[in-house]
Homo-oligomer: A and B are copies of this chain.
Amino acid sequence: MHVSELETPSILVDLDLMEANILRLQSYLSQHGIANRPHIKTHKIPAIAHLQINAGAVGITCQKLGEAEVMAEAGIKDIFLPYNIIGAAKLERLMNLARRRVRMSVTADSEIVVRGLSSAARGAGLMLPVLVECDTGAKRCGVQSPEAAAALARLIARSPGLHFGGFMTYPNSEQLDPFMQAAKRMLAEHGLTVECVSGGGTPQMWQAHTHRELTEHRAGMYLYGDRYTLRSSAMSLAGCSFKVRATVVSRPTPDRAILDAGSKTLSSDVLGLEGHGLITEYPEARIYSLSEEHGHVDLSECASQPEIGEEVTIIPNHCCVVTNLANEVVGVRRGEVEVIWPVAARGRVQ
């Protein structure tokens, strides 16, 4: 089936481009001796996770237990969950994953989380690797200083059922090396070594080797690309494998077109960008607002204009959240549909 026969809106992945993106980052990280642990939040599709593993990734990263369960069910054997797992129900699910011959590892940024993990792992008779999440400038989760990182690492190391697995941060920043070096020095005084420093981010991926302390990198968007990634110059428009196909359903005025893709397809993520997507056939067009099932396009700067019924191709602002809205993604090679993947881990936020 040719892509032109697909109904719209649909989410297309150019398989040649995606495979090239997977190989390119793997090759770069391997060359620099940095382990590659891609973040599957971007695609949420087990078959793509296997492609990443087969290309040389040491394992995958998931953000939620529900994603990890889907990936473990599909045969992925090494899953890092950089999240504070809290509460009896979630701890039991984590232990169930670790019991099924999946190498599960997690993060913690507080004593409360460490104590919960230790209690659960000890009860299950398991040894769970736990990394300390460090805030190196993102101001999200994470301990706030090398001193706090070292103290939590020591608590993990002496907690029954837990193994101190290293440090985790996101994204890679200039503070990464000084933070990790200071924390490592403090731990060395107590005879503790740091086996892994895990960083991440697609915009920063080609600078991974400049962080001396980094041993592992987690990137998500690198295999698809989007307007956010393009702005960072980490990827080129020609390399973007991820596109939304939409139809012009109305031309109410000479300067306005309405698309059949709104915020329930493209998401409302702005990420500091102007507008809601790039229409590749009409780059001067501006998707200036979205309602739920309509994309509002300003054509006033366009030399030529699309007609009612015409299909267009959109590079969205943020591929991760677009995937998470879709029930399926269409894999395309040279214009022909090769595979239709259910987005298996979509909406698995628990």
Q: Report Cα–Cα, A43/B283, bound state, in Å.
A: 35
Contact A268:B270 (CB < 8 A) given known A7-B350, A250-B110, A308-B113: yes
Q: Are B86 and A292 in contact (CB under 8 A)?
A: no
Q: Are A294 and B349 in contact (CB under 8 A)?
A: no
Determine the chain B residues whose CB is within 8 A of the CB of A143 once the complex forms: 252
Task: From A326, A346, A348, name the one whose CB has the most chain B CB atoms within 10 angstroms.
Answer: A346
Determine the chain B residues whose CB is within 8 A of the CB of A326 once the complex forms: 347
Interface segment, A184-192, A207-215, A257-265?
A257-265
Interface membership of A198, Cβ < 8 A: no
Q: Are B309 and A250 in contact (CB under 8 A)?
A: no
Determine the chain B residues whose CB is within 8 A of the CB of A112 once the complex forms: 308-309
Q: Are A327 and B309 in contact (CB under 8 A)?
A: no
Using a Cβ–Cβ cut-off of 8 Å, how many residues does chain A contribute to the interface with B?
60
Interface membership of A34, Cβ < 8 A: no
Tell me, rounded to whole Å, the shortest Cβ–Cβ distance linking A102 to chain B: 20
Interface membership of A144, Cβ < 8 A: yes
A244-290 contacts to B (CB < 8 Å): 247, 249-253, 256, 258, 260-261, 263-265, 267-270
Interface membership of A83, Cβ < 8 A: yes
Q: Are A141 and B252 in contact (CB under 8 A)?
A: yes
Interface membership of A140, Cβ < 8 A: yes
Tell me, rounded to whole Å, the shortest Cβ–Cβ distance linking A179 to chain B: 14
Interface membership of A87, Cβ < 8 A: yes
Determine the chain B residues whose CB is within 8 A of the CB of A84 once the complex forms: 249-250, 308
Q: Are B140 and A308 in contact (CB under 8 A)?
A: no
Q: Are B321 and A63 in contact (CB under 8 A)?
A: no
Task: From A10, A84, A251, A349, name the one whose CB has the most chain B CB atoms within 10 angstroms.
Answer: A349
Determine the chain B residues whose CB is within 8 A of the CB of A346 once the complex forms: 327, 347
Interface membership of A204, Cβ < 8 A: no
Q: Report Cα–Cα, A173/B267, bound state, in Å.
A: 27
Determine the chain B residues whose CB is within 8 A of the CB of A321 once the complex forms: 263-264, 268, 292
Interface membership of A154, Cβ < 8 A: no
Interface membership of A135, Cβ < 8 A: yes
Q: Report Cα–Cα, A141/B90, bound state, in Å.
A: 46
Determine the chain B residues whose CB is within 8 A of the CB of A227 once the complex forms: none
Instruction: Pick the residue among B261, B269, B292 that contacts A320 (CB under 8 A).
Output: B292
Instruction: Pick the residue among B135, B265, B270, B308 that contacts A349 (CB under 8 A).
Output: B265
A78-125 contacts to B (CB < 8 Å): 83-84, 86-87, 89-90, 109-110, 112-113
Contact A41:B292 (CB < 8 A) given known A268-B269, A269-B263, A321-B268: yes
Please name 23 pairs of A and B residues whose Cβ atoms are closer than 8 Å in the assembled complex, sorted by A.
A5-B89, A7-B87, A7-B89, A8-B87, A8-B350, A9-B349, A83-B293, A86-B247, A110-B250, A112-B308, A139-B296, A140-B294, A141-B249, A141-B252, A142-B252, A267-B267, A267-B268, A268-B269, A268-B321, A292-B324, A325-B349, A326-B347, A346-B347
Other than A41-B292, A83-B260, give 18 A-B pairs with Cβ distance below 8 A: A84-B249, A86-B247, A87-B309, A110-B308, A139-B256, A140-B258, A140-B291, A141-B258, A142-B250, A144-B253, A263-B267, A263-B321, A267-B267, A267-B268, A268-B321, A293-B349, A325-B347, A327-B348
